[in-house]
Chain A
Amino acid sequence: MSYLKPLFRHPKLPKNKLGYTQKEYEGSLSTLCAGCGHDSISAAIVQACFEMSVEPHKVAKISGIGCSSKTPTYFLGNSHGFNSVHGRMPSVATGASMANKDMVYFGVSGDGDSASIGMGQFVHVIRRNLNMVYIVMNNGCYGLTKGQDSATADQGSRSKAGSVNPFQAIDLASLAIELGATFVAQSFSGDKQQLVPLIKAAMHHKGFAFLNVISPCVTFNNNPGSTKSYDYVREHIEATSTLDFVPEMPEIKTNYEKGKSTRVAMHDGTLIQLNKLATDWNPEDRVSVANALQHARTKNEILTGLLYVNTEWKDLHGTLSTCSTPLNKLKEAELCPGTEALNEINAGYR
């Protein structure tokens, strides 16, 4: 088995604005099972960061425990990383974000890490609207402990050993919308064309961006009867829209058919161009999104693409009115302004 990736790369590998090739965004060779959907998601993150010319040292990857939470080793090898306690990734991410708001935060979690042990943390990080990208690599089973059903396994889904899951599934996307997450998307590890622009848009969203990515477990949950297998997902996938992430304000060149095309402007002036495929769905209307998700569920469809986006809510730093300088950059002079300043503050309370 190879533990190292050969160092040679294609001599004509394209370079991004920083002069880096994709190599600078790669991590170590994956030790996950061959064919794991998580590896595709890692590759999509690499591609998104490369194409957006993100400086690798300005990204932090934070994860909990599980197959999914191992993946930060396999992408962005030149970025910061923290492999934290099971289900406690949101707390660590909150702390990191509080200390340094200038970084891009990737929270990587799995269905066990988010929908079971970390459910409390997941719910509260949404409530805080922390500025981060929260990716759940959702395979509907506990791959690391030999494939028991997880909380996101669909009722009636058959495991590799043949048992049928009797419990209802937690729908993380619906839950996130219900709780008021400001960016919710759903995708499939086997569809990078959709996933990469979604990751890019999520990185540009100022606030909590949630990506629920169905990621088949090839070893324990890719069998007939499973609702998280490559074949099942490909057959039941239903995209809300095709999506382009537009990094700069472009000239309008194409006239999309009225009512079928929507543009969402992000805080930093970038745009998301959505070409709607689903009717009765408006990505800026929570009720229509909740309905669309419910309809899809009754039809056994997996609704993918950008589901909901709201750019009006403040993120945690906005709510707390923190200063513009990241807290970890404040020096003694700013933090201990001296007796005079203290007296002034005290005088304000008299």
Chain B
Amino acid sequence: MKPTNTKDPEYYHKVVDCQYACPAHTPVPEYIRLIAAEKFTEAYMVNWESNVFPGVLGRTCDRPCEPACRRVRVEEEPVAICRLKRVAADNKGDVKQHMPQGPFPSNGKKIALIGGGPASLTVARDLAPLGYEIHLFDEQKAGGGMMRSQIPSFRLPEEVLNEEVNFILDLGIHTQFMTYVKSLKEVLGGGYDAVFVGTGAPKGRDLPKLPGRKEADKNIHIGIEWLAGVAFEHIKSISQKVIVLGGGNTAMDCCRTSRRLGGKEVKVVVRSPFDEMKASPWEKEDALHEDINIIDNHVPLSFEVKDGKLIGMKFQKVKPVYDENGKRQLLPTEEDDVFIEADEVLIAIGQENSFPWIERNIGLEFDQWGMPVVDERTFQSTNPKVFFGGDSAFGPKNVITAVAHGHHAAVSIHLFCEGLDVHDRPSPYTNLVSQKMGIHEWIYDSSVAIDQRHIVPQAKKSQTLKDRKKEVELGFDIATAYKETQRCLNCDVQTVFTEDRCIECDACMDVCPTSCITFTVNAEESDLRQNLLVPAENLTQDLLVSKELKTGRVMVKDEDVCLHCGLCAERCPTSAWDMQKFLYSTTKANQMITPFPSIEK
């Protein structure tokens, strides 16, 4: 194999599994260390810089970082990254002083943002400090989009959301709430230099063809619409017997909200097996804890109506069958169809995009599925003035993905407004600094805690079920949070190897607790992976290969289960190994360096 090019910022970035997995590439270990040092304000700002909504995400994030956490490769549970983020948000001091302070000198450009959700707000935050005049349109009475209308208050208190939305609106954003944009053409005619569409996936899927759907319409609701109704207090109660159809996080929010509005017997009925439901495992757990029955492998057949009133639903029992490619099919079992009683049904089987307000003759192409054609890197549509982001770009995902889209789109909008090529993306900011403090001392806490993941305490069920706004999770107290921070392996502190210092004493290879380091004869990658002390079978993890050493061998380090304990560097007599902290940050629009004007000869 060729020597690894560690100058490529993506090499070390990939070693920081959590940050790499985060769509917005939040520097997770960096803020976890700040929490351990009780520097909550600083930890909050590290988050805010990357993911804009630390308080919201610390409660509701889909946590793509956690399954990626290196810890699951050496023990069972990842670090509670998401809930540690909340600790930073809960205990922060005055963060506003660290944020950009308006009013900003105008750059004479005007931007329209359609939709007031996480993607649009991110664009607003990134562009406002550059002097753009930003107009934000939303049909609701306040900003936040789906974070406000779909995430129930018992998971995300309104104050938390308001605070973080206002941090952005206070940058001098011109808001036009209670305004439904009926025509993109009209907006484009409004003299804007660019338009960002962040309208989400606002249409909940229905089961229009299921028998009884029309007759029972009064007692059947679309999940996300119903949740919005509850959030804006148009709906205040539900019947005692409720069926929620669907197995995603919206279904979990529907059933738990039902329990708070009067639902006594709330059942979630889902087609897929329990383990394959789309809902996050912790959301399923919380639902079960609130006495909600989750019935899996049931396909809805009909709404049963008696005397013009919904009395329940019929389901067919199925079982999953997998072909050799692991593809699942749900085949009916021989058992009888099942009738489940219900007074009301909530349909939470997914949501879709909907663009009835975008004219099809304004140079903005749509694909065969009715989705706008959007560039995956620049988020620019085929109308160069119009950019998309969040769920409206590529279909429903989650808040953190919307934020990431927002950052990219803001960069593109800025490049576009400056008359530059939107494909010419700014490189990430990186920094690599030695952590050496003494001969065998490091600035970071290198010892590896063997603690199991700590559980976030919850308020009593008797209280939370009574009040829809009472937050269920209480968050870690500072002492528990500290213990949890110590489970972080500091994967951003990289093992940096300098070949010409190595005397091949084997000390690093001998001491490495997880047998990551091998000195061996070089070979092709597939052979080399097999020739290591423990074969490197996790192909998603790279090998760090050195240049040829004096004895003709190479040093090969399998990044897979490296604990970043620093022992290799401690036992190295010549500092050929060093522990160096790698900070990686995607460049946001407001951090872009303005290029010097070219000097004409």
Contact = CB atoms under 8 A, between A and B. Distances in A.
Given A6-B448, A8-B448, A13-B515, A30 B506 contact: no
Contact of A6 (B504, B513, B534): B513
A30 B505 contact: no
B74 A8 contact: yes
Interface in B139-164: none
**4 shortest A-B CB distances, which residue pairs?**
A35-B573, A6-B448, A1-B440, A43-B510
Contacts of B510: 39-40, 42-43
Interface residues of B, number: 37
A4 interface: yes
Interface string A8-51: 11111110000000100000011001111101101100000000
A34 B572 contact: yes
Contacts, number: 106
B285 interface: no
A336 B555 CA distance: 63
A189 B509 CA distance: 13
A8 B534 contact: no
- The majority secondary structure among interface residues of chain B is loop
Interface of B: 73-75, 439-441, 446-448, 450, 503-507, 509-511, 513-516, 534-535, 537, 550-551, 561, 563, 565-567, 570-574
23 contacts: A1-B439, A1-B441, A1-B570, A4-B447, A5-B513, A6-B447, A6-B448, A8-B74, A9-B513, A12-B534, A13-B534, A34-B440, A34-B572, A35-B572, A36-B507, A39-B507, A39-B511, A39-B571, A40-B505, A40-B507, A218-B503, A230-B505, A231-B503
Contacts of B574: 35
B567 A2 contact: yes
Using C-beta atoms within 8 Å of the partner chain, give the interface range for chain A: 35 or more
A82 to B, nearest CB: 24
Given A12-B537, A13-B515, A5 B505 contact: no
Contacts of A234: 550-551
B514 A10 contact: yes
Contacts of B570: 1-2, 34
Given A11-B561, A39-B507, A34 B573 contact: yes
B503 A230 contact: yes
Nearest to B558: A10
Nearest to A37: B505
B535 A30 contact: no
A234 B571 CA distance: 21
B511 A7 contact: no
A5 B534 CA distance: 18
Contacts of A40: 505-507, 510
B440 A2 contact: yes
Given A8-B75, A12-B535, A35 B503 contact: yes
A192 interface: yes
Interface of A: 1-2, 4-14, 22, 29-30, 33-37, 39-40, 42-43, 189-190, 192, 216, 218-219, 222, 230-231, 234
A190 B447 CA distance: 28
Given A1-B441, A13-B534, A6 B561 contact: no
Contact of B511 (A10, A12, A30, A231): A30
Contact of B507 (A4, A7, A22, A35): A35
A46 B454 CA distance: 36
Nearest to A4: B447
A148 B400 CA distance: 63
B493 to A, nearest CB: 14
Contacts of A219: 573
Contacts of B441: 1
B561 A10 contact: yes
A139 B385 CA distance: 74
A2, A40, A234 — which one has the most chain B CB atoms within 10 A of its CB? A2
A6 B503 CA distance: 25
A8 B563 contact: yes
Contacts of B514: 6, 8-10
B74, B506, B565 — which one has the most chain A CB atoms within 10 A of its CB? B506
A46 B574 CA distance: 25
Contacts of B446: 2
Nearest to A43: B510
Nearest to B74: A8
Contacts of A11: 73-74, 561
Contacts of B450: 6-8
Given A2-B446, A2-B565, A10-B514, A34 B74 contact: no
Contacts of A34: 440, 507, 570-573
Contacts of A39: 507, 510-511, 571
A7, A14, A33, A36 — which one has the most chain B CB atoms within 10 A of its CB? A7
Given A8-B513, A10-B534, A230-B505, A35 B571 contact: yes
A12 B511 CA distance: 17
B75 to A, nearest CB: 7
A4, A6, A37 — which one has the most chain B CB atoms within 10 A of its CB? A6
A90 to B, nearest CB: 28
Nearest to B576: A35
Nearest to B504: A190
B505 A6 contact: no
Contacts of A216: 505
